[in-house]
């Protein structure tokens, strides 16, 4: 049903827009390449018989009318902007997959009861304005005129100016908020990690979107002469830091089955000389989970454990919270439906958390929302080497198509699912 060749050609068509010398893609939000790609995608949407409209933030909405136009909308979407020197799959898979699915319905002259819409969200990547998922935020009414003046790119151009250059009026931003009722939202996306590839799964059904809690830990000991200070007279900030690092790992491992990950990615030791016992260390700690409770457990245990390390090692440890975000829970009903759909297809699938944020996370508060992952080679993303196989893209698109066929029926209703 999915036209492999057509889908492949559409990817090729987009892959030359914003292409860099080394093969990477640069389509920064509202920039020239982004706009060129947008025009091409609008062409694909028109070919698929979709009616196009553009909202006050420039998000493109392509609608396939339903037999009952007044009914709630089954919605698909993702983005086509990229990071500097990124790939042609992040976001693009969700957009071209969605358009291909609707093109199939058009080819078959198939009737859907509920209207179906594909949304291309603007400015998903934070690369230009420092804030991610701007288009889906505007779509969900979370972007205000002051925000548009506040966010600036590296050249000092505000988001308000950038959208003005695209003939959109910043003062009308509130109108970008979607007015209709949404029955379901689905986003197909590359995993941007290597779980699917490593475990030989073609489809990942996302159960939640992890949110980070980040700390800076400052460990203060005593910088002393490494030769003249006996082992029992030291307040070594770096060995204390080593215990903190291991504690973060141990705690995350204990609840890793709940989708928790813990990383210490930054370490700065002072004075940083081989003949001096480190007197001060700074750590950057990142803890992510898809459930608030399991993340909170790790944080609480970390605080208790740090108190013990302080006492045992005679050092001071200050824990400063940098961010503390709430994970997005994904509709269990949607996960159940996607599992059912996958049963009708030969592709090996698994449930998994999403470590990265996506446009879908904003829609999750409005409608039953699902994210379908496909593998990307080596888990590499935001890089010229980002690559997903056409076979996997087609598999993901088939799942997307089967899901909307089912959900867009009048007699479809959500059933309670236990995960």
Binding site for Zn ion (CB under 5 A): 90-91
DSSP label of 31: S
Q: Please tell me whether residue 195 adopts helix, strand or coil conformation.
A: helix
Smallest gap from residue 94 Cβ to Zn ion (A): 7
Nearer to Zn ion, 91 or 327 (CB): 91
Nearer to Zn ion, 204 or 336 (CB): 204
Nearer to Zn ion, 298 or 400 (CB): 400
Task: Report the run of H or E that residue 177 belongs to, with start and end.
Answer: none
Decide if 288 contacts 210 (C-beta within 8 A).
yes
Smallest gap from residue 74 Cβ to Zn ion (A): 21
State both tokens at 168: 């959109």
Largest CA distance in the chain: 85
DSSP label of 152: B
Nearer to Zn ion, 217 or 361 (CB): 361
Spatial CA neighbour of 219 closest among 233, 238, 200, 202: 238
Chain position whose Cβ is nearest to Zn ion: 91
DSSP label of 44: H
d(CA 52, CA 46): 7
282 burial via Cβ count (<10 Å: 0-12, 13-18, 19+):
middle
d(CA 64, CA 329): 29
Smallest gap from residue 93 Cβ to Zn ion (A): 9
State both tokens at 89: 């799959």
User: 248: Cβ–Cβ under 8 A, 6 or more apart, which residues?
Assistant: 262, 263, 264, 285, 287, 302
d(CA 334, CA 416): 9
Smallest gap from residue 133 Cβ to Zn ion (A): 9
Nearer to Zn ion, 132 or 244 (CB): 132
Smallest gap from residue 381 Cβ to Zn ion (A): 8
Nearer to Zn ion, 91 or 221 (CB): 91
Smallest gap from residue 134 Cβ to Zn ion (A): 13
Nearer to Zn ion, 90 or 153 (CB): 90
Smallest gap from residue 254 Cβ to Zn ion (A): 31
Decide if 219 contacts 401 (C-beta within 8 A).
no
Nearer to Zn ion, 75 or 315 (CB): 75
Smallest gap from residue 203 Cβ to Zn ion (A): 17
């Amino acid at each position: 049903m999915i036209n492999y060749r057509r889908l492949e050609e559409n990817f090729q068509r987009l892959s030359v827009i914003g292409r860099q010398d080394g093969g990477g893609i640069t389509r920064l939000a509202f920039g020239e390449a982004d706009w060129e790609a947008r025009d091409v995608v609008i062409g694909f949407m028109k070919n698929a018989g979709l009616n196009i409209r553009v909202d006050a933030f420039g998000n493109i909405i392509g609608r396939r009318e339903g037999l009952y136009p007044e009914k709630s909308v089954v919605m698909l979407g993702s983005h086509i902007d990229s990071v500097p020197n990124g790939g042609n799959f992040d976001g693009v898979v969700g957009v071209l997959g969605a358009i291909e699915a609707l093109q199939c319905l058009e080819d078959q002259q198939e009737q859907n009861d509920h209207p179906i819409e594909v949304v291309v969200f603007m400015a998903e990547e934070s690369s230009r304005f420092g804030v991610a998922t701007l288009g889906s935020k505007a779509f969900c009414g979370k972007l205000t005129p002051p925000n548009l003046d506040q966010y600036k790119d590296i050249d000092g151009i505000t988001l308000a100016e950038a959208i003005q250059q695209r003939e959109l009026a910043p003062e009308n931003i509130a109108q970008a908020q979607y007015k209709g009722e949404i029955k379901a939202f689905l986003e197909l996306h590359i995993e941007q990690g290597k779980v699917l590839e490593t475990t030989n799964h073609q489809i990942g059904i996302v159960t939640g979107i992890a949110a980070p809690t980040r700390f800076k830990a400052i460990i203060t000991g005593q910088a002393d002469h490494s030769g003249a200070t006996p082992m029992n007279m030291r307040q070594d900030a770096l060995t204390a830091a080593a215990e903190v690092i291991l504690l973060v790992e141990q705690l995350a491992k204990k609840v890793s089955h709940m989708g928790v990950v813990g990383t210490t990615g930054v370490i700065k030791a002072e004075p940083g000389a081989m003949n001096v016992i480190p007197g001060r260390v700074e750590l950057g700690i990142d803890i992510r989970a898809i459930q608030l409770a399991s993340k909170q457990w790790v944080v609480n245990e970390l605080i208790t454990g740090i108190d013990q390390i302080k006492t045992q090692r005679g050092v001071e440890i200050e824990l400063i919270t940098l961010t503390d975000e709430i994970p997005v829970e994904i509709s269990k009903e949607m996960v159940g439906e996607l599992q059912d759909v996958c049963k009708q297809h030969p592709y090996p699938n698994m449930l998994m958390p999403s470590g990265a944020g996506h446009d879908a996370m904003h829609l999750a508060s409005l409608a039953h929302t699902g994210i379908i992952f496909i593998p990307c080679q080596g888990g590499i993303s935001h890089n010229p080497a980002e690559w997903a196989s056409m076979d996997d893209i087609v598999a993901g698109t088939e799942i997307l198509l089967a899901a909307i066929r089912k959900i867009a029926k009048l007699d479809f209703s959500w059933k309670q699912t236990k995960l």
